[in-house]
Amino acid sequence: MLTNLLIVLPIFALILAGWIARETGALGPNATREVNRLVVYLALPALLFDIMANAKVEDIWQPRFTLAFALGCAVIFAGTLAWRMAKGRHLADAAIDGLNASYANTGFIGFPLVLALIGESGMGATLIAAILTVCVLFAIAIILIEGGLQSETRRRDIVFKTALSLAKNPLLVAPALGAVVLVSGWHLPAPVHTFLKLLGGAASPCALIALGLFLAGTQPDKAGERLSTAGILVGLKLVAHPAATWVIAGPILGRSPVATHTAVLLAALPTGTGPFMLAEFYNREASLTGRVVLTSTVLSIATISIYLALSG
């Protein structure tokens, strides 16, 4: 538990820094959106491009692990999407809720946690999980959001307008260009690599600060519906997601218990800041997402520790 606490402590510190900056007036009411736009248009695209362009094929060529982790995410994402749409949620909001329940914080927590508990042998699997979460799952959610937002136009224009929006979206263009670099075998010049590391390194800290800014400017929710929904989404992320991954990974990775353990551990991570960035960027219900990110991060200290104790 102490290991988990030390790893997530900087996350709380960055959220607190944003909250204090807003409460003291150091950053104004428009800071949340502007900081988030910095992440969406500059920092996160640089990070996504860097991850894809510099990935090593031998590290990410683990088809059984990729299938197991991807299916675990897909089951929770699709199930949450169907549940929220059955409740009358807009497709864009339901897609963000699907991310809330399946988007593991592989980047900020996954790498240091797996390194501390499993060692270097788990880094390749963690990179695969990060690519699947930050690039693939994120892209699917953006496609659904863009499609949902175009639903009020004429049907024949939906495909064109959605495709145009996706083609201009830096969060999709950046990893696609990075994949081109990966497949081509090109090597980025050292100055470009340094630039991407510096800019991409700002993505997670700025997103967490933006979350703190947002929480400071949000009025307490008097209705119990959002609180109960947030509780269900947190339960899906911290309990259902790792449980589904364990059930799926067992038959697929049966001969590799360490790989199964790694997949479940990564699935058990709390919700990352990606859903909050999209909710704020698209002017959706960011208060629900912010609550899920914060609550799941706090509770994950206990849930991951319980899993580690049970798994031995």
Per-residue pLDDT of the chain (312 residues; tens, 9 = 90+): 666 677 778 888 888 999 999 999 899 888 988 998 898 889 888 988 988 888 888 777 889 999 999 999 999 999 999 999 999 889 999 999 999 999 998 877 888 888 888 887 888 888 889 889 988 898 899 889 888 887 655 555 666 666 777 777 787 888 889 889 988 888 889 999 899 999 988 888 888 898 888 888 766 554 555 668 899 999 999 999 999 999 999 899 877 888 999 999 999 999 988 898 889 888 888 889 988 988 998 898 889 888 888 876
pLDDT at 228: 86
pLDDT at 162: 64
pLDDT at 60: 78
pLDDT at 85: 94
**Cβ proximity of 252 and 67 under 8 Å:** yes
Using alpha carbons, list the distances in angstroms from residue 168 to 161, 165, 232: 11, 5, 34
- CATH fold group of domain 2-311: Na+/H+ antiporter like fold (1.20.1530)
Token representation of residue 173: 């263009």
pLDDT at 210: 87
Long-range CB pairs of 1-10, under 8 A, 24+ apart, other chains included? 1/301, 1/302, 1/305, 3/113, 3/116, 3/117, 4/113, 4/300, 4/301, 4/304, 4/305, 5/301, 7/109, 7/112, 7/113, 7/116, 8/109, 8/270, 8/297, 8/300, 8/301
Single-letter amino acid code for the residue at 94: A
pTM of the model: 0.81
In whole angstroms, what is the distance from residue 279 CA to residue 273 CA? 10
Candidates 229, 226, 269, 223; CA nearest to 245 is 269
pLDDT at 151: 61
